């Protein structure tokens, strides 16, 4: 059997690739940092390609990928992958949604704490030789309201930490049931209510056509004058121009941001000059544990896809996996055999299939 060729196109923890590297049925080819034609050439004969957030898989990247079956993202967001182009070519796009959950939740809460207690400003002041106790007073989180936009894996972990601070947690999440929310101590509410009642708002939704710009100028204006905005999800969720204006005018008290519309954040971006904003360079998944976890998670998913045909983790395919896949396996095998038989019995290509159900 010819080994499956897996191109690793980003820096991914080598020890996390164990599910693939330890099996002779896989050939690991590490080619991080490629772009354009070089990237297209590297994955032309690959069965799978693994990326993080640095390498962009575009339509052009896939133009020569005749064997590619899987694109694996060692992380959550797939906005750096042209999912539509992959789908058109029958290529599964898979991610690792669970591996960095704790890291992202902890950073979101760290950003909130840093902003309400002026940690970054106090650190800068101390390094300048000052002792500005009077100017650096903060506020407590105790009995304040945290508004979550999205209460999935990461949002729910942020909620758990907020409950430990005895905060009220109010969430907008159309996919979360009342029973599940109640079990987590979360109150569900419409987006507008969350924005108006929250002392701090934290974003935890993916970047899609539906969520892009979800916090525009109109919705930012709904926030309390003393509110804090935390975004450790995706930069495109917030209208940055409107946020800059809200911060400059004092319309809201502050922001704590880990993600931006353009990354790296331009040196002359207005955020950099705002003392009311705490900024970090997209560190949500940047822990040793998270990097190992997402590498293992995506390696196992790609292994299952190539060896077992289990594409249940694909973001661009119907969810069929586990026990259900095993039940369907005989039917899939039958369909394959019938297809081969038809290709032998008929002249030319098969252009139409009709099913007679009795």
For each of the chain's 358 residues, which pLDDT tens digit applies? Answer: 799 999 999 999 889 999 999 999 999 999 999 999 999 999 999 999 999 988 999 999 999 999 999 999 999 889 899 999 999 999 999 999 999 999 999 999 999 999 999 999 999 999 999 999 999 999 999 999 999 999 999 999 999 999 999 999 999 999 999 999 999 999 999 999 999 999 999 999 999 899 999 999 999 999 999 999 999 999 999 999 999 999 999 999 999 999 999 999 999 999 999 999 999 999 999 999 999 999 999 999 999 999 999 998 899 976 555 566 667 778 878 888 887 887 788 777 677 777 776 6
Query: 165 and 142 in contact (C-beta within 8 Å)?
Result: yes
Question: Whose CA is closest to 74, among 8, 118, 145?
Answer: 8
- The reported pLDDT for the residue numbered 1 is 73
Handedness of CA 289, 294, 297, 299 (dihedral sign): negative
Distance CA 299, CA 18 (A): 8
Return the closest-CA partner of residue 314 out of 70, 80, 9, 4. Answer: 70
Question: What confidence score (pLDDT) does residue 320 get?
Answer: 54
**Domains of the chain as residue ranges with CATH:** 4-98+288-323 (3.40.50.720), 101-279 (3.40.50.720)
The 3-state DSSP composition of the chain as helix, strand, coil percent (nearest 5) reads 40, 15, 45
Rounded to whole angstroms, what are the CA distances from 29 to 6, 49, 93, 303? 6, 9, 19, 15
Q: Distance between alpha carbon 301 and the CA centroid of its chain, in Å?
A: 16
pLDDT of the residue at 354:
76
pTM of the model: 0.80
The set of catalytic residues is: 234, 263, 282
Contacts of 114 (CB under 8 A, 6+ apart): 120, 256, 278
List the alpha helices (DSSP H) in 190-274: 191-197, 217-220, 240-248
Burial class of residue 200, CB neighbours in 10 A (0-12, 13-18, 19+) = buried
Alpha-carbon gap, residue 2 to 330, rounded angstroms: 25
CB within 8 Å of 25: residues ≥ 6 apart: 1, 3, 4, 307
């Amino acid at each position: 059997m010819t080994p499956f060729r897996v191109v690793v196109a980003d820096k991914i923890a080598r020890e996390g690739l164990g599910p693939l590297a330890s099996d002779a049925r896989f050939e690991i080819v590490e080619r991080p940092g490629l772009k354009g034609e070089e990237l297209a050439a590297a994955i032309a004969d690959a069965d799978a390609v693994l990326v993080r957030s640095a390498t962009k898989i575009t339509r052009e990247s896939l133009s020569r990928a005749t064997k590619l079956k899987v694109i694996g993202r060692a992380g959550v967001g797939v906005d750096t992958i042209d999912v539509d182009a992959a789908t058109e070519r029958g290529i599964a796009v898979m991610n690792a949604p669970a591996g960095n959950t704790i890291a992202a939740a902890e950073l979101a809460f760290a950003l909130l704490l840093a902003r309400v207690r002026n940690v970054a400003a106090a650190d800068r002041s101390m390094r300048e030789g000052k002792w500005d106790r009077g100017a650096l007073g903060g506020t407590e989180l105790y009995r304040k309201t945290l508004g979550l936009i999205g209460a999935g894996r990461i949002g729910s972990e942020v909620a758990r930490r907020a409950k430990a601070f005895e905060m009220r947690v109010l969430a907008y999440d159309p996919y979360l049931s009342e029973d599940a929310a109640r079990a987590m101590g979360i109150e569900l509410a419409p987006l507008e209510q969350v924005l108006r009642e929250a002392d701090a708002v934290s974003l935890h939704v993916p970047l899609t056509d539906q969520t892009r710009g979800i916090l525009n100028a109109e919705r930012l204006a709904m926030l309390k004058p003393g509110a804090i905005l935390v975004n450790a999800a995706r930069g495109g969720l917030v209208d940055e121009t409107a946020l800059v204006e809200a911060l400059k005018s004092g319309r809201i008290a502050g922001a704590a941001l880990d993600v931006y519309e353009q990354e790296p954040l331009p040196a002359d971006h207005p955020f950099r000059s705002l003392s009311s904003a705490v900024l970090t360079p997209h560190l949500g998944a940047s822990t040793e544990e998270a990097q190992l976890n997402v590498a293992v998670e995506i390696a196992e998913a790609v292994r299952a896809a190539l060896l077992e045909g289990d594409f249940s983790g694909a973001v661009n395919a119907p969810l069929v996996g586990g026990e259900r896949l095993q039940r369907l396996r005989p039917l899939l095998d039958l369909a394959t055999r019938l297809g081969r038989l038809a290709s032998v019995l008929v002249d030319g290509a098969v252009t139409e299939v009709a099913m007679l159900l009795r």
